[in-house]
């Protein structure tokens, strides 16, 4: 069967290291079927899915429930296991059960999972480090932002910008720096999710210079939107961490250009229309849909000359594959070929229409944006999941759990004689 791709670009499928598919628990927001259909339509061939579902993915029982829901997937997926204070005893069973990586919520966000104190994070890192798995962090300091929000609410602030004011950059910088220190001491490899401020680049650069195995992602909304979004989009724009002022956007592009930021992920965080649109900012759910719009939005930046296409591929495919153990190939351990491919047309103009997205949570701040550059065919392990811009509905259920394919050696901890185990063994 011949596919005419004359004049098009054939790229490796995008790997989105940060999506929330809500299933089980919040299936009115998204399901594995709708979330992965949205991915397929967006040129995304593998997603890594977050544990703030209900139940949270902190035990093997919860993981198995999620794997059952995920049988409807169109595209391949990895599952993040939860790393929390109450489930440290379950981390190794989660590895055995088939998670691809771990996620730790240092600050409060959707799902209200408690933020582990540093002591629990350190112990969790020690356990996970032994196996070489990466821990992704929602790096925001829970205490700083809770106190800010209380004060803002007491002062009667409930406008959209109050959300930005509650989470100034120090909220993220403190958590990034702390996570990097704990990783350095334990040898854990870590990933900083949704970098939103220029200020986070300094602790990232310092940690990389010290040899910490730390990767970082930013998202299209931090690169493409600024504080004007609060006027235009009101509560729809509420997201953790917040979209910030233009100066941060410029610094993030620098971080992209110099490699401090390794990858672009979407933080696909669907909610219902009603949950996103509220007069009182504090009652609007945080986050919005994203997995289907990343490629057209970011290819538009490629077309506009802001980023070479090779760098786009590095940030959306190569870097996540390396960070999460799918490099150089995953197909060897899964049925089918290694052909995770997206064919894109850089001349094609499309308009982002929230009503046309496959995701159930179709509120997007990019509604109405014209994009230049669009995915037209998506293949997962050699099979079409999107063809000529249409979802291949017969490919429902084609997606498989990638787990973590490559075994990566653990980095050396800075200080082996102060691990929890070494301390316990030291004196009679």
Rule CB under 6 A: which residues touch ligand NCD?
Answer: 20, 52, 109-110, 138, 239-240, 267, 269, 286-287
Residue 109 or 294 having the CB closest to Zn ion: 109
Q: Is the dihedral of CA 72, 87, 144, 195 positive or negative?
A: negative
Query: Of 134, 138, 314, 403, which one interacts with Zn ion (CB under 5 A)?
Result: 138
CA pseudo-torsion sign 206, 137, 85, 428: negative
Q: Which of 181, 33, 198 is nearest to 106 (CA)?
A: 181
298 interface partner picked from Zn ion, ligand NCD, none, CB below 5 to 8 A per type = none
- Examine residue 55 and say whether the peptide bond preceding it is cis (omega within 30 degrees of 0): yes
Residue 402 to residues 75, 98, 291, 325, Cα–Cα distance (Å):
10, 9, 18, 9
316 binds, among ligand NCD, Zn ion, none (CB under 5 to 8 A by kind): none
Within 342-381, the residues that bind Zn ion by CB under 5 A are: none
DSSP string, 314-346: IIIIIHHHHHTT--S-SGGGSSS-S--EEEEEE
Residue whose Cβ sits closest to Zn ion: 138
CA distance 420 to 30: 40
Of the pair 26, 185, the CB lying nearest ligand NCD is at 26
Question: Closest distance between Zn ion and the C-beta of residue 417, in Å?
Answer: 34
The minimum distance between CB 369 and ligand NCD, in angstroms, equals 20
User: How far is it, in rounded angstroms, from Cα 242 to Cα 230?
Assistant: 10
Q: How far is the CB of 268 from ligand NCD (least distance, A)?
A: 9
Count CA within 13 A, CB hemisphere, residue 193: 30
Among Zn ion, ligand NCD, none, what does residue 110 contact (CB within 5–8 Å per kind)?
Answer: ligand NCD
> Please, which residue, 138 or 238, has the CB nearer to Zn ion?
138
- Nearer CB in complex with ligand NCD: 85/206: 85
Please give the radius of gyration of the chain, using alpha carbons only, rounded to the nearest integer: 20
Let me know: does 221 contact 365? Beta carbons within 8 Å. Answer: yes
Query: Where does this chain touch Zn ion (CB under 5 A) — which range of 71-79, 130-138, 143-151, 388-396?
Result: 130-138
Whose Cβ is closer to Zn ion: residue 109's or residue 350's?
109
The nearer residue to ligand NCD, 268 or 398, going by C-beta atoms, is: 268
CA distance 178 to 273: 36
Number of residues that bind Zn ion (CB under 5 A): 3
Q: Which listed residue (16, 174, 262, 267) binds Zn ion by CB under 5 A?
A: 267
52 binds, among ligand NCD, Zn ion, none (CB under 5 to 8 A by kind): ligand NCD
Q: How many residues does the chain have?
A: 428
Q: Which does 265 bind (CB under 5 to 8 A by kind): Zn ion, ligand NCD, none?
A: none
Shortest distance in whole angstroms from residue 286 CB to ligand NCD: 3
Q: How far is residue 73's CA from residue 146's CA, in Å, rounded to a whole number?
A: 37
When the beta carbons of 281 and 405 are compared against ligand NCD, the nearer one is 281
Rounded to a whole number of angstroms, the minimum distance from the CB of residue 110 to ligand NCD is 3
Q: Distance between CA atoms of 225 and 241, rounded to whole angstroms?
A: 13
CB 115 within 8 A of CB 105: yes
Closest approach of ligand NCD to the CB of residue 35, in Å: 12
| 138 vs 404 by CB, closer to Zn ion | 138
CA triple 30-33-35, angle to 5 deg = 50
Q: How far is the CB of 82 from Zn ion (least distance, A)?
A: 13
Which residues of this chain interact with Zn ion, rule CB under 5 A? 109, 138, 267
């Amino acid at each position: 069967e011949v596919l005419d791709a004359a004049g098009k670009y054939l790229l490796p499928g995008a790997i989105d290291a940060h999506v929330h598919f809500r299933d089980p628990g919040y299936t009115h927001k998204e399901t594995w079927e709708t979330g992965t259909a949205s991915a397929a339509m967006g040129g995304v061939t593998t997603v890594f899915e977050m544990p703030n579902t209900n139940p949270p993915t902190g035990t093997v029982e919860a993981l198995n429930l999620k794997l059952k829901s995920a049988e409807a997937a169109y595209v391949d997926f990895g599952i993040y296991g939860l790393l929390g204070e109450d489930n440290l005893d379950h981390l190794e069973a989660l590895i055995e059960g088939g998670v691809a990586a771990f996620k730790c919520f240092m600050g409060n966000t959707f799902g209200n999972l408690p933020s582990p104190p540093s002591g629990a994070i350190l112990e969790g890192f020690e356990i996970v480090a032994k196996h070489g798995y990466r821990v992704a962090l929602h790096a925001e300091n829970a205490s700083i932002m809770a106190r800010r929000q209380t004060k803002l609410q007491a002062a009667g602030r409930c406008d959209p910008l109050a959300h930005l004011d509650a989470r100034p950059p120090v909220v993220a910088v403190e958590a990034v720096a702390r996570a990097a220190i704990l990783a350095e001491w334990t040898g854990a490899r870590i990933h900083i999710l949704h970098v939103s401020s220029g200020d986070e680049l300094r602790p990232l650069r310092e940690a990389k210079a010290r040899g910490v195995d730390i990767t970082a992602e930013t998202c299209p909304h931090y690169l493409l939107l600024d504080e004007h979004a609060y006027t235009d989009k009101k509560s729809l724009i509420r997201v953790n961490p917040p979209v910030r002022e233009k100066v941060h956007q410029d610094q993030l592009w620098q971080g992209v250009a110099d490699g401090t930021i390794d990858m672009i992920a979407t933080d696909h965080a669907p909610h219902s229309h009603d949950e996103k649109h509220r007069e009182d900012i504090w009652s609007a759910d945080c986050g919005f849909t994203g997995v289907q719009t990343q490629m057209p939005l970011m290819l538009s930046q490629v077309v506009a000359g802001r980023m070479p296409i090779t760098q786009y591929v590095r940030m959306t495919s190569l870097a996540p594959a390396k960070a999460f153990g799918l490099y150089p190939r995953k197909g060897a351990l899964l049925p089918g070929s290694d052909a995770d491919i997206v064919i894109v047309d850089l001349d094609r103009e499309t308009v982002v229409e929230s009503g046309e997205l496959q995701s159930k949570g179709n509120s997007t701040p990019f509604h109405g944006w014209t994009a230049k550059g669009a995915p037209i065919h998506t293949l997962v392990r050699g099979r079409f999941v999107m063809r000529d811009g249409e979802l291949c509905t017969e490919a429902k259920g084609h997606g498989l759990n990638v787990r973590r394919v490559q075994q990566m050696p653990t980095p050396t901890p800075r200080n082996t004689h102060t691990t929890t185990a070494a301390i316990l063994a030291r004196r009679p």
